[in-house]
Amino acid sequence: MIDRRRLELCYANRLAAATYPLYTSLLSSPAVPAAHRPTRRQARGLIHKVRRVAKAVPSASHPLEHLAMVQNVLRVEPSVEGCVVECGSWKGASACSLSLGAAQTKRDMHVFDTFAGLPQVQEADRFHVLLDRPEVHTYQRGMFAGALDEVRDHVTRFGAIDRCTFHSGVFRDTMPGWDQPVVLAFLDVDLRDALEDCLCALWPMLADGCAVFVHEAPHHEIASLFYDDAWWRANLGQVAPGLAGGGSGIGLQWMEGFWRSSLGFAIKNPPTDGYHVRPPVDVA
């Protein structure tokens, strides 16, 4: 009898393997500023390093998600000042990958985590609904614990430790007063209240046209914040920016009949004047 789930996983893995060569072209394309652009050989080396991280370091995120963010870092113009920030690191896999992008672009990277697992989980965050799976994810204190020494060791072995500064503690204590410009933030924080703390600190310092990525884009409790105009007006003085990938994640991986992932992103003040305008269709 055919094991459908095993067959689906095999198919998904083959599709992922076929996708990696595409990133050779994406990372070394003319869309990447010349100062940041790797050669095709260097791009293949970068992809190999990201895939090696995925095999060596436990992670809840996929290497294709890491490469999507690395590509985003590379495409920021060198004239735009700012660092890379990660909030929520677990064992440091995504920190390894993002630090490689930071090294390629000669930017600093800051990693925030308790390094002791999730803090106390509020009732509203104990259960998250993922309508596209369909699944319910549960959370409790102490989940996703990775000690600081363990994360440092992984980044030393598989990333660019010289680009990284680590900040230990709950976000509510470590992030207020953040005053450095940011070109990309990756918020893999699981909890709605933690996400709010990170956005309040980082969004004001995010450069226009740059992105905040989240790793719980399919979670209603997380994605909905990016459409909550009342919260955004009260805390950040603007309308909600929306979330690309909200509800199902951006389409990076083949999972059970759909292209999706856990990754989504919001862009600060996107340059819509340069967007393609699609004319009305079938107007009488």
Q: Report the SS3 class of residue 259.
A: strand
Domain assignment of residue 274, yes or no: no
Domain span at residue 16? 4-269
Decide if 281 contacts 267 (C-beta within 8 A). Answer: no
CA–CA separation, 273 vs 170, rounded Å? 39
Query: In the prediction, which pLDDT does 147 show?
Result: 97
Query: In the prediction, which pLDDT does 7 show?
Result: 63
Write the pLDDT tens digit of every residue in 262-273: 999 999 999 888
Query: In the prediction, which pLDDT does 142 show?
Result: 87
Query: In the prediction, which pLDDT does 8 show?
Result: 67
CA–CA separation, 84 vs 64, rounded Å? 18
Domain assignment of residue 52, yes or no: yes
How many CB atoms are located within 10 Å of the residue 4 CB? Answer: 9
Q: What H or E segment, with its residue span, contains residue 256?
A: none
CA–CA separation, 16 vs 13, rounded Å? 5
The CATH number of whichever domain residue 178 belongs to comes to: 3.40.50.150
Domain assignment of residue 143, yes or no: yes
CA–CA separation, 187 vs 243, rounded Å? 13
Ramachandran assignment for 280, one of left (phi > 0), alpha (psi -120 to 50 degrees), beta (any other): beta
Number of domains in the chain: 1
CA–CA separation, 233 vs 214, rounded Å? 20
Domain assignment of residue 278, yes or no: no
Domain assignment of residue 281, yes or no: no
Domain assignment of residue 277, yes or no: no
| Cα torsion through 40, 159, 192, 256, rounded to 10 | 50
How does strand 182-187 pair with strand 127-130?
unpaired
In sequence order, the 6+-apart residues with CB closer than 8 A to the CB of 276 are none
Domain assignment of residue 282, yes or no: no
The low-confidence residues of the chain, meaning pLDDT below 50, are none
Decide if 118 contacts 141 (C-beta within 8 A). Answer: yes
Domain assignment of residue 283, yes or no: no
Type of residue at 88 = G
